[in-house]
Every structure is written in C-alpha cells, then in structure tokens.
Amino acid sequence: MNKMKRDLIQSAKVLDFSEDTPALTSLGLVSLDPSLNIKPFAQRLLDTFARLGQPVRLLDPRKADRVLLIGTHDGNPRMSVVEEDLDRDAVGRALPRELVLLKARVDTLPRHTGAWLKNRRVRGYHHVHPQSDGDLERLVRRLTGKAISLVLSGGGARGFAQIGVLRALEEEQVPIDLIGGTSMGAFVGALYTIGWRPDNLMDICKDVWTKSTPIRNLTIPRVSLCSSSRLERAFHDIFGQLRIENLNRAYFCMSSNLTRVRSTLHRKGLLHRCVLASLSIPGLLPPVVHKGELLVDGGLMDNLPVGPMRQLNGGPLIAIDISPRQELRVREKPATGMIGRIREKFGIAPATTHPSMLDILDRTAMLASLKRIEKTKHQIDLYLRPAVEHFDLFAWKSIQELHDIGYEHAKNRIALWRGR
C-alpha cells in the first residue's frame, strides 16, 4: 500500500488540515447536554480503541490530541458552556474538534444534523449508536486515519459492474467507512450508503433503469432531449426526504456547476436532488436548478472524485473506474455482399459507421475528467477497472452481465490487496 500524505478537509465549516496528522494518543470528551451521561459511551469507545490496537487516554479537552463533542440527535444544538470557554483564546480555538451524535436506536436514521453543524467549526461529524460495534469501530478508524473510503465513477449502465464489486468487497469483509461518487456512481453509492445490499441494488436498478426507462422520457428539446421528471420521481420514491448530512455513513457526490464553472461537492442537502444533479448529462437531461445556479453531471469535471475523497480521508482508498476510454471514431464498414462489390468496382467510398448522438454527448461531457483521472491514480490504493468499455452507455438490460464482470474482476484483486 502506498504511503500517502494525509489531507483532511472536513465539512461543517471547511477547514484545511493538510499537514501530517500526528498519531492519536488522547481524547477529550465534552458532553453538549448537561443531562447526558457519556461515561458508558466513553468506556465502550476506549475498549474499541484497545481492541483495534490503538489505545488512547482520556484527558482534559485542553490537553488532548482531539476533542469529541458528544450530543444526541434530539438534543438542543446550541453551543455548550465548554465550547464557549474553548473559543475564548487561540489555544482553545486551535484544538481539533469532531462532532459525535449518539443515536437512540440502531435502526433509526439521524436527524437535525444541519442544526448541530450550523455554528460549529469541526473537522468531521459522526453518527454512532453507543452499543453498535460497527459504529464504534468506524469512528475509531476515522479518528485514527485508517478509515477505508470508496470512490465510484460515472459511466451509465456500466455502473452496474460496481454492484458486483460491492458484492466482492462484502464477501472479503472490507469495511467501507466513506463513500463518494459521480453520476451513476453517485446513485449506486447512495443506495449502498443508506443500507441496501448488492442483491437489493440489483432489484432497484432493474426497476429504475430497465422497467421505467426514465432516459426515454422525450420532451420538446428546448433545454434537453429528455425530461427528468420521471427520473426525479423514481429517485424521490427511493430516497424520500433523506438528507446527505443525516446518513449513518459519510457520503458525498459531485456535480458540475455551469454557473460558476467549477465542481460542486455535495455533503449536505436532499439526497435525491443531489444525485439527480450528479447524473444529469448536459443536452440529454436538463440542469438541476439550485439557488438560481445550474448543476449538471459531475463527470463533466470530475468523473472519479479521488481528490475530494483524499481531502476528507487519509486512509486506504478504493476506486472503481468505469469511465469510457475507447476512442470515438468514424469507422468503415466491411465491404461485403453485392453492395460492397459494387462499391469496390466503381470506386465508391466505403460506407461508414458514426458514433451516436448520445455517445458524442457522453464523450463531450467526459473530456476534462479523463485527464484528471490519470493525474490522480497515484493517490489510489486499490484501483479497480472492470472491462466494460464494450457496453453501451445505455445497456440497461445487461445488468446481470455487467454485475458479473465487476464481481469477477474485483474478487481476486481485493484478496491480493488484503494480503490473503
């Protein structure tokens, strides 16, 4: 595994911690609710650190390597007395802080995260059930810079291969702590983040992409060839009113902001709207309008968002790249049959096959991203590129074949990467 510089930029207020992060040896815990007894949680957290081979001590917040602000989803998000005290001087303000919101039940989704983040400068935020080993282990990995992140690229129907990779990752028991994606990778990644397993992903993708055929929803082409109404309805049915900041596991997706001519990193907001923006290929689907600005497919500027993930996590990074690489050319058709012989005899130019309009739109949207991917490969620990280039961008009916290709490609590579 490559040795890589840790570059952590967290979300509530974007803070740059690009310098090397020292080893974590001590924590300061601050209860944001005077009535909240955090001692049981603190003991389980210390036990988890020890079990994972990274023992830490609890110290006064001003003397600790990291400060954890502990609250609950239904608690009052106002600033605590301890936080206000820390903010009174430069030393206190410089202490790295992270927000931990405790869940009452394992199977409930977090709420009100935005209110907790609104006035706090924190490096990151975490949703944890105090009795969940999985949640506690994920928290420890993220705090110690050992979290495993997954990045998924765009690529239309080829994205079904990513479901096969996810199955292989699960079989090899690789814990995924953060997920980021672009376009189709944003959709697959969002489904996996909210808890759907690979079998469920296959069923959902069949319903959305093969049965309802949202991309064939043609409209008067003033802004785009197709309307996004059917696709947005399908996404809303799946994700409802879920917000990215309220997901149990860290997630982001990318879109391209035509108004500001830059990539947009979505770490908060309505999940179904952010995913729709991330895969709205310009010309094919209309831009998503957000506060008067136009958002389109994230693949236009960053189809494999390795850089944004590296800013969030310095641990091992897995990337699944299904970006199209085949050359887009006009090709001659073989001169066969009677028509071919007549063309040859009279010196008529051979017939040609041209790329489709959709192929051209897709490649146009990917021009900048393809170069960016090559520049960021050195930041990836496990680079997975299933051989799916021969599949069409809209080969929705090939979902099982694409899944199988992704699974077979990843299975042995993951085992080898893990040293098995």
Instruction: Report the C-alpha gap between 166 and 136 in whole angstroms.
Output: 22
| Contacting residues for 112 by C-beta, under 8 A, at least 6 apart | 73, 74, 77, 246
Instruction: Report the C-alpha gap between 198 and 162 in whole angstroms.
Output: 9
**Helices 133-143, 39-51: crossing angle, 10 deg rounding:** 70
Catalytic residue among 80, 149, 153, 183: 183
Q: Which helix (H) or strand (E) holds 51?
A: helix 39-51
Catalytic residue among 65, 135, 177, 297: 297
Instruction: Report the C-alpha gap between 233 and 100 in whole angstroms.
Output: 33
Q: Is 183 a catalytic residue?
A: yes
CA atoms within 13 A on the CB side of 34: 5
Cα separation values, 278 from 90, 273, 361, Å: 40, 9, 15
Instruction: Report the C-alpha gap between 190 and 209 in whole angstroms.
Output: 16
What is the number of residues in the chain?
420
| Contacting residues for 396 by C-beta, under 8 A, at least 6 apart | 157, 209, 210, 213
Strands (E) in 292-378, as ranges, are 293-297, 317-320, 331-332, 352-353
Strands 8-10 and 15-17: antiparallel
| Contacting residues for 134 by C-beta, under 8 A, at least 6 apart | 175
Structure tokens of 77?
């998000």
Residue pointed to by tokens 């980021």: 180
Q: Is 297 a catalytic residue?
A: yes
Query: Active-site residue numbers?
Result: 183, 297
